[in-house]
Amino acid sequence: MFQINENYLKLPGSYLFSTIAKRVAAYKEANPDQDIISLGIGDVTQPLVPAIVNRLHSAVDEMADAATFKGYAPDLGYAFLRQAIVDNDYKARGVDISTDEIFVSDGAKSDSANIQEIFGSDNKIAVCDPVYPVYVDSNVMAGRTGTYDAATERWSDVIYMPCTAANNFAPELPKETPDLIYLCFPNNPTGSTITKPQLQEWVDYANKVGACIIYDAAYEAYITEENVAHSIYECEGAKTCAIEIRSFSKNAGFTGTRLGFTVIPKDLKCGEVSLNALWARRHGTKFNGAPYIIQAAGAAVYTDEGKAQLKEQVGYYQRNAKVIYDGLKEAGYTVSGGVNAPYIWMETPDNMSSWDFFDKLLEHAHVVGTPGSGFGPSGEGYFRLTAFGTYENTVKAVERIKNM
Ligand code: PLP
């Protein structure tokens, strides 16, 4: 008789977005004429830019011709894309990463969920609270998190690093020593980030205690401030302690097109064992490459035309972020994020719970956001709005919140 992976049964179930969808559906049914604006889910709304669309079309044409047809992609990604990544994301920032340290994938979600596979099952993870849920859930599935306490909403074997207004949403070095440290800056959901010197402290700490940082830089394109690192490898010593995960979703609108990459420096070792080699082995066995068409479109991101068009597209969302941030501040709310990230994190007024505020906003402003408590216990009392809507809807939503 087969058995299941019982770790899956431990998952408390992420009902966040389905609960939101159900509440919105019920409200719509009772109020069919209401025009509801969603600033909830972190998906983009603007179409792919012309440079990318044109390259998609021409890559499809290549697939239609026997002379240029491509079958399986190289496991680690096409050389043209890995070189463009190295040149633009790293060399241009003074960071020395080589093409064989880049692993092209179908996105940051899969990479951030799968990367734990190359680490020992006894490794202890540390995560920010609130947090992008994938980091914890993937470790639950692997049996690395102990038991779940529904009352505290915490796992016994996970080190939580609260990020609240009290510490300016920047995690503090944990008292207990972790083996794996998940960091995401600019952060989802808080929209905050840390400075390069602060990130350097994490790198120094990880090197000192022998921990590995898994650095999710999915929102790197939204950084506007000078003293914020775009890559963890801008910090000295990061190549011996950090893996970096990147995405094409939010800088280039690939949420539905799927492309990302992970960087594992060859200097990152456990004793004599190279993590780069382990991930190459894992990638080669379990992944058959991102599609040629998509990788070709990904390379268009790095052309002059692509860069100019994407700067404008990211700027469009950044303008939304400013509209939300300024509007809420003007209305008297306590707001953070939005400056280096497409997320605005607000304190709920009058000590309201995140869900009560969700209901209030839906009923009185007809705006949907995301309750902070859905990202972890330290998110209680906070609420997330995203800048990924259309400009018109964003302006309208903020006006409604102001008038609420
Ligand atoms: N990492 C973080 C922190 C995210 O917020 C998201 C998506 O919202 C992802 C990764 C997923 O990125 P991708 O679309 O490349 O899978």
The predicted structure's pLDDT at residue 245: 98
Strand-pair partners of 104: 261
Asked whether 107 lines ligand 1 (CB < 6 A), one says yes
Angle between helices 391-402 and 304-330 (to 10 degrees): 10
- Split at pLDDT 50, 70, 90, the class of 168 is very high
Asked whether 112 lines ligand 1 (CB < 6 A), one says yes
Arithmetic mean of pLDDT over the chain: 97
The predicted structure's pLDDT at residue 28: 92
Assess whether pLDDT exceeds 70 at residue 14: no
- Split at pLDDT 50, 70, 90, the class of 265 is very high
SS3 category, 337: strand
Asked whether 188 lines ligand 1 (CB < 6 A), one says yes
Residue 394 exposed, middle or buried by CB count within 10 Å (0-12, 13-18, 19+) = buried
pLDDT in tens, 46-105: 999 999 999 999 999 999 999 999 999 998 999 999 999 999 999 999 999 999 999 999
Query: Residue 392 contacts by C-beta under 8 Å, 6 or more apart in sequence?
Result: none
Closest residue (by CA) to atom 11 of ligand 1? 109
Asked whether 108 lines ligand 1 (CB < 6 A), one says yes
Average pLDDT over residues 145-167: 96
Give residue 109 CA to ligand 1 midpoint distance, Å.
5
Closest residue (by CA) to atom 2 of ligand 1? 218
Average pLDDT over residues 238-255: 98
The predicted structure's pLDDT at residue 162: 98
Counting from 1 in the atom list of ligand 1, the atom nearest the Cα of 250 is 14
Assess whether pLDDT exceeds 70 at residue 139: yes
Residue with tokens 């709005």: 385
- Split at pLDDT 50, 70, 90, the class of 18 is confident
The structure tokens listed for 48 are: 């792919």
Give residue 247 CA to ligand 1 midpoint distance, Å.
7
Assess whether pLDDT exceeds 80 at residue 170: yes
Give residue 341 CA to ligand 1 midpoint distance, Å.
13
Asked whether 250 lines ligand 1 (CB < 6 A), one says no
Asked whether 247 lines ligand 1 (CB < 6 A), one says yes
Report yes or no: 27 and 34 within 8 Å, Cβ to Cβ.
yes
Rounded Cα gap, residues 304 and 120, in angstroms:
43
Give residue 188 CA to ligand 1 midpoint distance, Å.
9
Summarize the chain as % helix, strand, coil (round to 5): 45, 15, 40
Assess whether pLDDT exceeds 70 at residue 176: yes
Of all helices (H) and strands (E), which one includes residue 108?
helix 108-114
Asked whether 178 lines ligand 1 (CB < 6 A), one says no
Asked whether 246 lines ligand 1 (CB < 6 A), one says no
Give residue 387 CA to ligand 1 midpoint distance, Å.
15
Rounded Cα gap, residues 350 and 377, in angstroms:
18
Q: Phi/psi of residue 346, each to 5°?
A: -120, 150
Assess whether pLDDT exceeds 80 at residue 329: yes
In this structure, are strands 242-247 and 260-263 parallel, antiparallel, or unpaired? antiparallel
Counting from 1 in the atom list of ligand 1, the atom nearest the Cα of 132 is 3
Average pLDDT over residues 261-275: 97
The predicted structure's pLDDT at residue 19: 85
- Split at pLDDT 50, 70, 90, the class of 17 is confident
- Split at pLDDT 50, 70, 90, the class of 15 is low
Rounded Cα gap, residues 172 and 349, in angstroms:
26
Query: Residue 342 contacts by C-beta under 8 Å, 6 or more apart in sequence?
Result: 42, 191, 219, 222, 250, 317, 318, 320, 321, 386, 387, 388
Asked whether 216 lines ligand 1 (CB < 6 A), one says yes
Asked whether 109 lines ligand 1 (CB < 6 A), one says yes
The predicted structure's pLDDT at residue 314: 98
Average pLDDT over residues 183-194: 98
In 172-282, where do the E strands start and end?
A: 180-184, 212-216, 242-247, 260-263, 269-270, 273-274
Mutate to test the pocket of ligand 1, among 105, 136, 249, 386 (most ligand atoms within 8 A of CB): 249
Report yes or no: 91 and 306 within 8 Å, Cβ to Cβ.
no
Rounded Cα gap, residues 333 and 338, in angstroms:
14
The predicted structure's pLDDT at residue 12: 86
- Whether the bond between 130 and the residue before it is cis, its omega within 30 degrees of 0, is yes
Asked whether 249 lines ligand 1 (CB < 6 A), one says yes
In this structure, are strands 260-263 and 269-270 parallel, antiparallel, or unpaired? unpaired
Average pLDDT over residues 287-300: 97
